[in-house]
Amino acid sequence: MLIHQIRNATLIVTYHNQKFLIDPWLMPKDYMAGFDVGMNPEVRQPRVDLPIGIDEITKADAVILTHFHPDHWDEFAAKALDKRLPLFVQSETDLKVMQGLGFKDVRVINEHTVFEGVKLYKTGGQHGRREVIEPLCRQIDMPYDAMGIVFEAPDEKTLYLAGDTIWCDEVKQAIDEFAPKVIVVNACGAMLQNGEKIIMDAADVKTVATYAPSAVVVASHMDTVSHLTVTRQDIKNLHLANVVVPDDNEILKF
């Protein structure tokens, strides 16, 4: 297994000899305004450039979109990706969106999903406290749900990408059910102006690492979006032996 940290939540996961491109957000630095509802709305994003070229990033066997938010998918990805690539999404709604963009092989992940010998399982989460953030998302006509994904294959360690979520019962359930040896968490503590975090922060990372002490916890989705409140250095300062904080363009091997 290889986990290639590209930028933000964009990863290339090589698993059972298949390359999965996760959440391709490929626009250039400062292309997009900060989120009005988030912290630091005056900061443009992405805060950093892509570390490698788009042509290299998009050489994949399949694409996984955890959710259709503007810091996980953009028009650059829609243009650059081969429309014949298998594209895995969380719901029928996202399937229709991707088909509308011209993708020919869009699949909703369910309990029976297998791709080239890799079992893929959709997991739940909370993109911020559901009782608070889901109504806000409805008000601004933005979808709330964001899936996680578990990867399983006979010759690989079980991998759990938690996705855009805080620490919650759904994450605990996924760890309990699948006992992953590698857990990727989105950990920049992205926060709304009302003070609600919508993905994990340093405290959540510590909770995951403590709850799953035999797993390696990889902190992703760092140092890129306008509304971050936690940096890579903040996660490193936890000094947790089973937490890894890759730089952009770093490749982790398991």
Q: What's the pLDDT at 111?
A: 85
Q: Quickly state the pLDDT bin for 141 (edges 50, 70, 90).
A: confident
Q: What's the pLDDT at 139?
A: 87
Q: What does residue 244 show for φ and ψ, rounded to 5 degrees? A: -120, 140
Read off the pLDDT of each residue in 153-164 and give the average, rounded to a whole number: 97
Q: What percent of the chain has pLDDT over 70?
A: 100
Q: Kindly report, residue by residue over 73-89, the tens digit of the pLDDT.
A: 999 999 999 999 999 99
Whether 143 shows a pLDDT value over 90: the answer reads: no
Distance separating alpha carbons of residues 81 and 131, to the nearest angstrom:
36
Q: What percent of the chain has pLDDT over 90?
A: 96
Q: What's the pLDDT at 142?
A: 84
Q: What's the pLDDT at 184?
A: 99
Q: Kindly report, residue by residue over 194-244, the tens digit of the pLDDT.
A: 999 999 999 999 999 999 999 999 999 999 999 999 999 999 999 999 999
Whether 189 shows a pLDDT value over 90: the answer reads: yes
Whether 58 shows a pLDDT value over 90: the answer reads: yes
All domains in the chain, ordered by first residue: 2-253 (3.60.15.10)
